[in-house]
Amino acid sequence: MAEVINGKSVAEDVVSKVKTLTAELLVKGATKPGLAVVIVGEDPASQVYVASKSRTAKECGFHSLQHTLPADTTEEQLLKIIGDLNADKSIHGILVQLPLPGHIDAGKVIQTIAPEKDVDGFHFINVGKLGTGELETAFVPCTPAGSMLLIERVRGKDLSGLNAVVVGRSNIVGKPMANLLLAANCTVTIAHSRTRDLPALARTADILVAAVGRPEMVKGDWVKPGATVIDVGINRVPAPEKGEGKSRLVGDVAYAETAKVAGAITPVPGGVGPMTIAMLMANTVASAYLAAGLKRPSF
C-alpha cells in the first residue's frame, strides 16, 4: 500500500515555522506581517474560507484585517479599497476572495493588487516570474506551492530526471504546478480534456498531479507502480449509504484502487487542502521579510 501523505501534519509544520519567523521579525524591529482579506457578498463557502484564513493569520501573530462588503458593492468602491491597502505599509498581503459578484471584473481587481502584496500569486507579474524561473521574488499560488512541498517531503527537493504529468491546465493550479516542477528539473507534460490516450500518458508519470475537478477520474490502472500521486480535487458526491441527501468528499483520483499501486498518495480530505491556507501564511510572512529588506525565508 502507498504511503499516505499527511497534508494536515505538513501544514502544521509550515504554520509553526511562520509563527517563529513572525516572532523573529519583531525582534529585528520590523513591522509584524499584515494580511488583509476582502470578501464581497454572502457566498457561504467563501465565508467559511475567509473565517479560516483570518483565524490562522491571528494564530500566526499577524496583523489581520478583514473587509466584508455587501454584494452590491461597486467595482469602483472595491478598487478604491485595494488602492488604500496597496498604500498601507502595515499590510503585506492582500487577498480578494473569489468568486466576486457578476458585475465586478475579477481579472481587473486582481491586477490592481500590488504584485509585492499579491500573496495569492495571481498577478501577471508573479505569473511571469514563476514562468521564467524567478522564484526568489515570485509569489506562487498557494495550492500548487503546497502541493510542491508535499512532493518534496516524499521525493526530496531535487527531482532531476523524473517524469511529471499534470492533469489540468488552470491558471490557479495546473500551469503554476507545471512551472514549479520544471524549476525542480522534472520533465513535465500538461494533460487536459483534449489529451489523446490520457491513461497511457498518466502511466509514464513518476509524479502525477490531478487537478481537473472531476470526481475519481484518475483510476488505479492509470498509475505507474511506485508513483507519487497528488490529488488536488475536492468534489462532493452523493453518499446514500450515509442516509438520504447525504454526501461525501472525494478527489479527482479513485483513492482506494490507486493507493494499491502508488508509492505515495494524498488523501481527500486531509491532503492538499490544509496546505493552501498554510502557504498563504508563508507567502505573507515572506512578503513582510522582503518589505523589511531581509532575506526571504524558505519552506
Whether residue 168 is found in the same domain as residue 228: yes
**Any domain includes 2:** no
Segment 49-77 mean pLDDT: 95
Whether residue 207 is found in the same domain as residue 111: no
33: domain range? Answer: 29-120
Catalytic residues: 53, 97, 120
Provide the pLDDT confidence category of residue 298 given band limits of 50, 70 and 90: very high
Whether residue 173 is found in the same domain as residue 109: no
**Any domain includes 216:** yes
Provide the pLDDT confidence category of residue 42 given band limits of 50, 70 and 90: confident
Whether residue 108 is found in the same domain as residue 216: no
Whether residue 201 is found in the same domain as residue 255: yes
- What gap in Å lies between CA 85 and CA 112, rounded to an integer? 11
Whether residue 71 is found in the same domain as residue 194: no
Domain count, the chain: 2
**CB neighbours of 152 closer than 8 A, spacing ≥ 6?**
none
- Give the domain CATH number at 87: 3.40.50.10860
Whether residue 267 is found in the same domain as residue 204: yes
Asked if residue 37 lies in contact with residue 50, where contact means CB atoms within 8 angstroms, the answer is: yes
Whether residue 113 is found in the same domain as residue 172: no
Whether residue 146 is found in the same domain as residue 91: no
Per-residue pLDDT reduced to its tens digit, 236-268: 998 888 888 889 999 999 999 999 999 999 999
- Residue 127 CB coordination number (10 Å): 21
**Any domain includes 295:** no
Residue 241: its pLDDT value, please? 85
Asked if residue 205 lies in contact with residue 164, where contact means CB atoms within 8 angstroms, the answer is: yes
**Any domain includes 293:** no
Whether residue 174 is found in the same domain as residue 79: no
Q: Which contacts (CB < 8 Å, 24+ apart) does range 124-130 have?
A: 127/171, 127/176, 130/176, 130/179, 130/180
- What gap in Å lies between CA 61 and CA 30, rounded to an integer? 13
Supply the Cα-derived Rg of the chain in whole angstroms: 19
**Any domain includes 4:** no
Q: What average pLDDT does the structure give for the chain?
A: 96
**Any domain includes 137:** no
- What gap in Å lies between CA 86 and CA 118, rounded to an integer? 10
Whether residue 94 is found in the same domain as residue 188: no
- Amino acid identity of residue 100, one-letter, is L
CA atoms within 13 A on the CB side of 43: 13
pTM recorded for the entire structure: 0.95
- Give the domain CATH number at 175: 3.40.50.720
DSSP lists the bridge partners of residue 167 as 191, 210
Whether residue 113 is found in the same domain as residue 234: no
DSSP lists the bridge partners of residue 164 as 188, 207
